[in-house]
Structure 1
Amino acid sequence: MPRKKRFYQPGVPVHVFQRGHNKEPVFFDVQDYLAYLRFLKAAADDLGCLIHAYVLMTNHVHLLATPKAENDISLLFQNIGRHFVPYINKTYHRRGSLWEGRHKGNILESEAYFLVCMRYIEMNPVRAAMVDHPGQYRWSSYTANAHGIDNAVLQPHALYLSLGDTCEMRQAAYRAGFDGETRSDELELIRACLHSGTPLGNDHFKKKIESAIGTRVGYSKRGRPIQEAGSSKNMGSRIKNIADV
């Protein structure tokens, strides 16, 4: 069965996910997380790929990135894999694959879903009951985006910068986005689009992508499509009232 076509486009943010083989751990020690971040930064810098948010969980990773070219995301993971897999195998005297196949990912409509997706990624440790608050988890981008802690891996997106005129204002607005109740329909939509590779956005956004690539993008799941929770016009105004779980 042929692989589903990916719809990555230059300058369009992508939510990407990669999981350990058979859901087994890919990080075993503090040094492993640090090594992955070094390899991630080196690969992103080499490609000109901008990393906006990330979380490194025990057996998987999430990234939110903007590629410079259409194939940058695939090259990013290939580059990381060429360094990280041999590092893990050598360190722990193991052989074979580390990751469960190729990465999964989908592009997203910036204005409507970018900040929601950042929050989804950084709330992973809370959803996994590893911590009570995202700021308690060391291996994510939350402390950089919410508190301005230096992080050489990250490059801020224009929508993040638009949260305020100063660093302090942006960080305060970003932190406020983590207060509130979960929108289960948004959570379901993000997950479905990520695992199916379907663009996350309104019909106008999807038609633009279809026009650019010359093919239909399909739905995030079989049957009736999920009702989208917001639009590019009103999502930004609701950022302070939505939190992911």
Structure 2
Amino acid sequence: MARLPRLTVPGYPHHVIQRGNNRQPVFVDDQDRETLLGLLSEYATKHKVAIHAWVLMGNHFHLLATPATDKGLPLMMQALGRRYVQIFNRRHVRTGTLWEGRYRATLVQTDRYLLACMAYIDLNPVRAGLVTKAADWRWSSHRHYIGLHQDRLLTPHPLCWALGNTPFAREAAYADLVQQGVALDQQAQLTDATLKGWALGDRSFLEQIEVQTDRRTTRGRAGRPALKKPG
């Protein structure tokens, strides 16, 4: 079966995962992490992609990003992946692939899933047992949103501004949101939709995206469609 084209729609947030090949590390040290963030900033600006959240793990990374054009996100990820591998291979005296094929991505319904997706991204190091609190992990956007660090890579989504009338109120509200965690069913939905490339939202949202893109947003049922009964 032919692979569906990746679903990318300008103006909507997308959750992106890029993994290392065979789960191998894609960051050896902090210099590698700084390199990737620098390249991400460069290519996000060039291709007009707003980065709302990010986390760098050992063998993969996550982004939450809104492209301004239909080509912006794939062009950014292609340039980022290629250039980072060149630098990584040269620095660590290696050859060959680094990534596990194409990046994975899902389009998320803003009002229903955006803040949950941000918290999901922030809590990756906690779920992996690397830290006990999201704020203890240096390599994510979480510290920016709770007022511990200024990250010029980020473009906060309007939903973040709506969390409070002052910076302190927004930071406190976001910290509380992350501390509450993400429900297990939402975690599963975010992971499954991203890895399979489907959109994530309610029925009305999915129907809207299908009309807009002329593409399925969820897996169709197997077999032939049922016939309507006469009368």
For the aligned pair, the TM-score class normalised by the smaller chain equals over 0.9
- Is 1:51–1:65's contact at 8 Å kept on the other side of the alignment? yes
Cα RMSD of the aligned pairs, angstroms, is 1.5
* CA deviation after TM superposition for structure 1 residue 167, in Å: 1.1
Amino acid at match of 1:155: T
Amino acid at match of 2:203: D
Amino acid at match of 2:3: R
- Is 1:41–1:153's contact at 8 Å kept on the other side of the alignment? yes
Q: Cα distance 1:182–1:106, how it changes in 2: closer, same or farther (>3 A)?
A: closer
Q: Cα distance 1:221–1:136, how it changes in 2: closer, same or farther (>3 A)?
A: farther
Q: Which residue of 2 aligns with 1:120?
A: 120
* CA deviation after TM superposition for structure 1 residue 220, in Å: 9.5
Gaps of 5+ in 2: 223-231
Q: Which residue of 2 aligns with 1:177?
A: 177
TM-score, normalised on structure 2? 0.92
The CA distance in 1 between the partners of 2:22 and 2:185, in whole Å, is: 28
Amino acid at match of 2:58: T
* CA deviation after TM superposition for structure 1 residue 207, in Å: 0.4
**Deviant stretches of 4+, over 4 Å:** none
Q: Cα distance 1:79–1:182, how it changes in 2: closer, same or farther (>3 A)?
A: closer
- SS at structure 2 position matched to 1:9: coil
TM-score, normalised on structure 1? 0.87
Aligned length: 222
Q: Which residue of 1 aligns with 2:50?
A: 50
Q: Which residue of 2 aligns with 1:154?
A: 154
Gaps of 5+ in 1: 223-245
The CA distance in 1 between the partners of 2:216 and 2:49, in whole Å, is: 26
Q: After alignment, is 177-186 or 208-217 more displaced?
A: 177-186
- SS at structure 1 position matched to 2:146: helix
Q: Which residue of 1 aligns with 2:144?
A: 144
The CA distance in 2 between the partners of 1:149 and 1:220, in whole Å, is: 44
Amino acid at match of 2:185: D
- Is 1:50–1:67's contact at 8 Å kept on the other side of the alignment? yes
Amino acid at match of 1:186: Q
The CA distance in 2 between the partners of 1:221 and 1:102, in whole Å, is: 25
Matched, 1:189 2:194: no
* CA deviation after TM superposition for structure 1 residue 5, in Å: 2.4
The CA distance in 1 between the partners of 2:221 and 2:107, in whole Å, is: 16
* CA deviation after TM superposition for structure 1 residue 126, in Å: 0.3
- SS at structure 2 position matched to 1:179: helix
* CA deviation after TM superposition for structure 1 residue 82, in Å: 2.6
Q: Which residue of 1 aligns with 2:88?
A: 88
Pairing of 1:1-245 with structure 2 (within 5 A): 1-147=1-147, 149-180=149-180, 182-219=182-219
The CA distance in 2 between the partners of 1:17 and 1:219, in whole Å, is: 20
In percent, how many aligned pairs have the same letter?
37
Deviation per CA, 1:109-163: give whole Å up to 9, x if none: 0001000000000100000000000111111000001225111110110001111
* CA deviation after TM superposition for structure 1 residue 217, in Å: 1.7
The structure number with the bigger radius of gyration is 2
Amino acid at match of 1:3: R
- Is 1:135–1:143's contact at 8 Å kept on the other side of the alignment? yes
Q: Cα distance 1:4–1:91, how it changes in 2: closer, same or farther (>3 A)?
A: same
The CA distance in 1 between the partners of 2:32 and 2:111, in whole Å, is: 34
Q: After alignment, is 145-154 or 86-95 more displaced?
A: 145-154
Amino acid at match of 1:47: H
Q: Which residue of 2 aligns with 1:228?
A: none
The CA distance in 2 between the partners of 1:98 and 1:216, in whole Å, is: 31
Deviation per CA, 1:138-191: give whole Å up to 9, x if none: 110000012251111101100011111111111111001023365211111111
